[in-house]
Amino acid sequence: MKRTLFICMMMAIAISAAAMSRSKVRTHARFLTDRMAYELDLTPMQYDDCYEVNYDFIYHVAPYMDDVVYGYRDAIEHYYTYLDFRNDDLRYILSAFQYARFMASEYFYSPIYSTGREWAFRIYTIYSNRSFFYFDAPSIFKTYRGGHSRLHFGTGFYNDRYAKIPHHNGSVRIQGNQNYDGRRKADFGTNLKPRTGTTYNNYSNPNSPNRTTDRRYQDNSGNHNSPAINQRTRQTGTTSTQPAQTNTRTSTPTGSRGARTSNPTSSTTRSQRSASTSGTSSSSSSTRGSGTVRSGRR
């Protein structure tokens, strides 16, 4: 039984690698983590650990997403299993206050949704400039390959790493929760079927309710930990893989946190306030690499 389970998990990893390249997984995971650091005031250690968790989640759900959009019940269950793993790991990394803000932001707590025949990351509906990053890449950006995932640590790798801060002690699971059906419909629509059937999930998730209007998120000063995240050596002693940049950024969104769609060539008062918070930029030119992946079925 254990051997069969192990083989199945290895097959899933192989399929995942074929479904989305590691480069694209890293790009999506970094963008999502970068915005979490900006809004949740992550420390350098939290920044790296959240990146690992987001990387593992995206890497493992990628092979299922076309079937999730198609409405297959087993694929949807697999998706929420990995989402529950992710949210549970983040519960031990974030403080109780940070996790409350995390859960209140749908684009963080439930990051993927369906637009009908496509699946996409909600974070890109909030921050449209996909080539801009507030912070340097995580120190393990190019070296992490899933070593701390639930595949290797069944009860979680991060449980005792932040023992000195208070954590959220409520339920974080979506599967088995009384609101599971509502969450599934909000993410992927009303269609649900076994491995037979030809109709698409025709649900269209509107983007407007996902935009935050909470004035608490409109502080342009950003994360006060950014000097520690940028130009740093990780606490484990490993030097960051991304060299610090000291030149002033000229490509950054402006305005409030509720409107992240500014001209990418405009200047920013954020970078003028502190050159040490200058991040690195990266872009994804393909449609799939930029967060929207079309189903192979037509």
- Domain residue ranges of the chain, discontinuous segments joined by +: 15-294
pLDDT of the residue at 242:
44
Amino acid identity, position 102: F
**Cα(203)–Cα(186) distance, integer angstroms:** 9
Per-residue pLDDT at 231:
64
Phi and psi at residue 103, in whole multiples of 5°?
Answer: -70, -30
Q: How far apart are CA 20 and CA 138, in angstroms?
A: 20
Q: What is the pLDDT of residues 116-154, one digit of tens each?
A: 779 999 999 999 999 999 999 999 999 999 999 998 998
Q: Residue 177 has what pLDDT?
A: 80
**What is the chain's Cα-based Rg?**
19
pLDDT digits (tens, 9 = 90+) for 100-111: 999 999 999 999
Instruction: Report the predicted TM-score, pTM, of the whole model to 2 decimal places.
Output: 0.64
Contact 92, 150 (CB under 8 A): no
Q: What letters, b where the CB count within 10 A reaches 16 and e where it falls short, cover 9-29? A: eeeebeebeebbeeebbbbbb
Place of tokens 């690698």: 17
Residues 6+ apart with CB under 8 A from 26: 55, 141, 142
Q: What pLDDT, on a 0 to 100 scale, did the predictor assign at position 46?
A: 97
pLDDT number for residue 161: 94
Residue 170: predicted pLDDT: 87
8 Å CB contact between 188 and 68 = yes
All residue ranges of the chain with pLDDT < 70 are 1-19, 196-222, 231-298
